[in-house]
A and B are shown apart, each in its own frame.
Chain A
Amino acid sequence: MPTFRQRLKPRFAALALIVLGVVAVLLLRLWGMQVLSGHAYATQAENNRIREITLEAVRGRILDRNGVPLVTNRMTMAATVSPTVKDDEEMLARLSNVLGISLSEIKEKVSSTRLEALKPRTVAIDVSMSVVAYLAEHESAFPGVETQQQAVREYPQGSLAAHVLGYTGEISESEFKSRPDLVGYALGDVVGKAGAERQFERVLQGDRGFKRIEVDASGKPKGVIEQGDPIPGRDVVLTIDSKVQKVAEQALKTALEDAHGQKFPKARAGAAVALDVKTGEVLAMASLPTYDPELFIGGISTANWKRLTAKSSEYPLTNRGIMAQYPAASTFKAFTGLAGLTYGVTTPGTTYDCQGRWTAMGDQWPKWCWNHSGHGIETFMDGVRDSCDVVFYNIGYSFYKRDKEELQKFVRRFGFGSLTGIDLPGEADGRVPDAAWKRAFNENYPEYRTWLPGDTVNMAIGQGDLLVTPLQLASAYAGIANGGVVETPHVLKSVLGSDGKVTLVERAKAAFRTKVAKGDLSTMNQALVSVTENGTARGAFAGFGVTVAGKTGSAQVAKKDDYALFVGYAPAENPRYAVAVVIEQGGHGGSVAAPAAREILAALLGQPITHVRATDVSR
Chain B
Amino acid sequence: MEERSRLSFVNVPLLVIVIGLVTYGTVIVQSATSGMPGGAGLFKRHLLGVAIGVVAMLVAWAVDYRKFKSWLPALVALDVLLVISPRIPGLGDTAKGATSWLQIAGVRLFQPSEPAKLVTIIVMAIVISRFDGVIERPRDVAKILAFLGVPLVLILLQPDLGTGLVFVAITMGMLLIGGLKARWFLVFGLVGVLAVGIVLQGHLLEKYQEDRLLVFVDPARDPQGAGYNLEQSKIAIGSGELTGKGLRSGTQGNLNFLPERHTDFVFSVLGEELGFLGAVLLLGLYLALLITALEISASSKDLLGSLIAAGLISMWAFQILENIGMTIGLMPITGIPLPFVSFGSSFMVTNLAGTGMLLSVWARRRAPQSQLSA
Contact = CB atoms under 8 A, between A and B. Distances in A.
A26 B271 contact: no
Contacts of A34: 237-238, 240-242, 271, 275-276, 279
Nearest to B258: A217
Interface string B284-305: 0011001100100110011100
Contacts of A40: 238
Interface in B257-296: 257, 271-272, 275-276, 279-280, 283, 286-287, 290-291, 294
A15 B310 contact: yes
B251 A23 contact: no
A361 interface: no
B97 to A, nearest CB: 22
Interface string B1-42: 000000000000000000000000000000000000000000
Interface in A1-49: 1-5, 7-8, 11-12, 14-16, 18-20, 22-23, 25-27, 29-31, 33-35, 37-42, 44-46, 48-49
B255 A35 contact: no
Interface in B49-66: none
B179 interface: yes
Interface residues on A, range: 35 or more
Interface string B302-330: 11001000100110010011001100101
A15 B252 contact: no
Contacts of B252: 45, 48-49
B267 to A, nearest CB: 10
B31 to A, nearest CB: 16
Contact of A23 (B132, B275, B287): B287
A4 B303 contact: yes
Nearest to B330: A29
A215 to B, nearest CB: 7
Contacts of A139: none
Contacts of B294: 12, 15-16, 19
Given A30-B279, A34-B276, A45-B236, A214 B291 contact: no
Question: Which residue, of A14, A25, A41, A217, has the highest number of chain B Cβ atoms within 10 A?
Answer: A41
B94 interface: no
Question: Which residue, of B232, B275, B279, has the highest number of chain A Cβ atoms within 10 A?
Answer: B279
Interface in A525-570: none
Contacts of B283: 23, 26-27, 30
B133 A7 contact: yes
Contact of A38 (B179, B238, B328, B366): B238
B176 interface: yes
Given A8-B177, A11-B179, A33-B238, A27 B255 contact: no
Contacts of B290: 19, 23
Question: Which residue, of B235, B320, B372, has the highest number of chain A Cβ atoms within 10 A?
Answer: B235
A22 B306 CA distance: 21
Contact of B328 (A4, A14, A30): A30
B251 A45 contact: yes
B238 A16 contact: no
A222 B328 CA distance: 27
B345 interface: no
A33 B237 contact: yes
A302 interface: no
Interface residues on B, range: 35 or more
Contacts of A217: 232, 255-257
Interface of B is mostly: helix
A27 to B, nearest CB: 6
Nearest to A42: B239
Contacts of B201: none
B344 interface: no
B111 to A, nearest CB: 25
Nearest to A222: B255
B255 A12 contact: no
Question: Which residue, of A3, A4, A18, has the highest number of chain B Cβ atoms within 10 A?
Answer: A4
Given A34-B241, A45-B239, A215 B255 contact: yes
B239 A216 contact: no
A213 B292 CA distance: 49
A605 to B, nearest CB: 69
A22 B173 CA distance: 13
A4 B307 CA distance: 12
A33 B330 CA distance: 12
Contacts of B287: 19-20, 23
A38 B277 CA distance: 13
A7 B276 CA distance: 40
A8 B310 CA distance: 12
Contacts of B240: 34, 38
B118 to A, nearest CB: 19
Contacts of B302: 2
A362 B155 CA distance: 108
Contact of A48 (B235, B276, B297, B306): B235
A161 B272 CA distance: 61
Nearest to B276: A34
Contact of A35 (B173, B176, B239, B276): B276
Contacts of B279: 27, 30, 34
B370 interface: yes
A34 B243 CA distance: 9
A560 B105 CA distance: 88
B234 interface: yes
A30 B276 contact: yes
Contacts of B255: 48-49, 214-217, 222
Contacts of A39: 241
A33 B230 CA distance: 13
Contact of B235 (A8, A14, A22, A41): A41
Given A34-B240, A41-B237, 15 more contacts: A4-B133, A4-B306, A7-B179, A12-B177, A12-B294, A12-B372, A15-B294, A19-B291, A19-B317, A23-B320, A26-B283, A26-B320, A34-B276, A35-B241, A38-B241
21 contacts: A2-B302, A2-B303, A3-B133, A4-B133, A7-B179, A8-B133, A11-B179, A15-B176, A26-B320, A26-B321, A26-B325, A30-B237, A30-B276, A31-B276, A34-B241, A34-B275, A34-B276, A38-B241, A41-B241, A48-B235, A217-B256
For the complex of A and B, list the 8 residue pairs with the smallest distance between their C-beta atoms, beginning with the closest.
A41-B238, A38-B241, A4-B133, A45-B239, A217-B256, A34-B276, A216-B255, A42-B239
Interface of A: 1-5, 7-8, 11-12, 14-16, 18-20, 22-23, 25-27, 29-31, 33-35, 37-42, 44-46, 48-49, 214-218, 222
